[in-house]
Amino acid sequence: MSNPRIIPNPQQQTNDNQHQAKTLTIIIYALQAASFIVGLTFLVAVIINYIKRDDVRGTWLESHFRWQIRTFWFCLLWGMLGAFLSAVVIGYFILLANAIWVIYRIAKGWLNVADNKPMYSNQ
């Protein structure tokens, strides 16, 4: 009897890696959404983005990571500005606009990843 060796299929490994990366991208969107209840999850999401960014480099998911990272930093910027200006009424409008913008970014990103679409198109 011969001992058959199982040789991994490189295409299958690529598909598995891409599936795992897509699942991670969805989890990061979920962490961003959960930040409206538990704010710390937004920080956890961006840390994961930075740690796993090399894993998606060169794939269509790279644009989602860029989108998620930019969402975090601009949210932080506008959130700090809104908090600083909350002594006057305009700060509350900035915070409200920031929350709406973050919801839009999470929803658009989540829908695009579900459709296997990158965030940025060259067309």
> What's the pLDDT score for residue 25?
96
CA distance readout (Å), 97 to 5, 40, 53, 71, 94: 59, 20, 28, 13, 5
Say how many CA atoms lie within 13 Å of 39 toward its Cβ: 4
3-state secondary structure at position 118: coil
- Residue pair 25/65 in contact by the 8 Å Cβ criterion: yes
Output the pLDDT for position 2. Answer: 55
pLDDT digits (tens, 9 = 90+) for 33-62: 999 999 899 999 999 999 999 999 999 999
The residue type found at 120 is Y
Q: Looking at residue 121, what is its pLDDT?
A: 72
Structural Rg of the chain based on CA atoms: 19
Q: In the structure, what pLDDT confidence band is assigned to residue 123 with cuts at 50, 70 and 90?
A: very low
Give residue 122's pLDDT: 54
**Cα gap 9→32, rounded to integer Å:** 35
The answer, yes or no, to whether residue 65 has pLDDT greater than 70, is yes
> What CA–CA distance (Å, rounded) separates 85 from 41?
25
Per-residue pLDDT averaged across 5-30, rounded?
Answer: 78
The DSSP output letter for 119 is: S
pLDDT tens-digit series, residues 73-106: 999 999 999 999 999 999 999 999 999 999 999 9
> How high is the pLDDT of residue 45?
97
Q: How far is CA 102 from the centre of its chain?
A: 11
